Amino acid sequence: MSNKDLSEAIKNILEKELKSFSKLIPNDVLTNIGKNVSPQIENIIEKNGFVKKSKYQNLEKIIDDLEKRLSELEKIKAD
């Protein structure tokens, strides 16, 4: 989940839960709350073993590159 998606989800949850107060609270306040809370939520999620899609894809690319290098080294050693 991207940071923008997570922030939007937090904003939507806050708006839903605080529906009666949302008319009194400016939208930028809810956006700022989402931006401030989002990193903390991400840390909690990562502590439970989950990562964002972008981080997963970066790790997957690193693994693929390392596997290719390992295969090349094994071929060189076999020759």
Same domain for 33 and 1? yes
Residue 70 pLDDT > 90: yes
How many domains does the chain fold into? 2
Nearest to 44 by CA among 10, 16, 15: 10
Nearest to 39 by CA among 79, 6, 74, 67: 6
Same domain for 60 and 77? yes
Q: What is the pLDDT of residues 2-58, one digit of tens each?
A: 666 777 787 788 777 777 665 676 777 767 777 788 788 888 888 888 878 888 899
Same domain for 37 and 57? no
Q: What pLDDT sits at residue 54?
A: 85
pTM of the model: 0.47
Same domain for 42 and 7? yes
Average pLDDT over residues 57-66: 95
pLDDT range class, residue 62, cuts 50, 70, 90: very high
Q: In terms of residue numbers, what domain contains 71?
A: 51-79
